[in-house]
């Protein structure tokens, strides 16, 4: 019979493999979606393979750049989505979806300072 420590090590290894596999599937799914149609900035950033914390920071910065780009003529496709707030309220918000070419134009105007953000920017520009 295996010891408790051996079972715990096996369980932890299985969980780590499962989490890594889920992350790979998420990146592959996002990459497939952005190839076919306009998607949100979040989906484009996830498709580059960025982790969650980096993706969140880059998306917030890109949304600010995209807002100024909208006034300069770079318009994404408007979509009305229903967002839940605190688990039960569903109110409509306007979201913008961008093609890969539009995202590369937005990313070209984005000037990050952190090295991780610069890597994501380079991946977004390389269409």
pLDDT tens, position by position, 28-82? 999 999 988 899 999 999 999 999 899 999 999 999 999 998 888 888 899 998 8
Banded model confidence at residue 6, pLDDT cuts 50, 70, 90? very high
DSSP summary character for residue 75: -
Element (H, E) at 16: helix 4-36
Residues spanned by the domain of 26 = 4-125
Count how many domains the chain has. Answer: 1
Mean pLDDT across 93-116: 94
**61 contacts: CB under 8 Å, gap ≥ 6:** 110, 112, 117
Count the neighbouring beta carbons within 10 Å of the beta carbon of residue 34: 22
Would you say residue 87 has pLDDT above 90? no
């Amino acid at each position: 019979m295996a010891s408790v420590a051996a079972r715990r090590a096996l369980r932890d290894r299985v969980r780590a493999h499962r989490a890594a596999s889920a992350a790979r599937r998420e990146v592959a799914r996002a990459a497939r979606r952005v190839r076919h149609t306009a998607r949100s900035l979040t989906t484009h950033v996830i498709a580059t393979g960025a982790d969650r914390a980096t993706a969140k920071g880059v998306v917030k910065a890109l949304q600010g750049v995209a807002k100024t780009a909208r006034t300069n003529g770079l318009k994404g496709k408007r979509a009305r989505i229903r967002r839940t707030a605190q688990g039960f309220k569903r109110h409509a918000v306007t979201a913008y979806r961008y093609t890969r070419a539009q995202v590369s134009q937005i990313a070209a105007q984005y000037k990050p300072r952190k090295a991780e953000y610069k890597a994501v920017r380079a991946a977004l520009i390389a269409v």
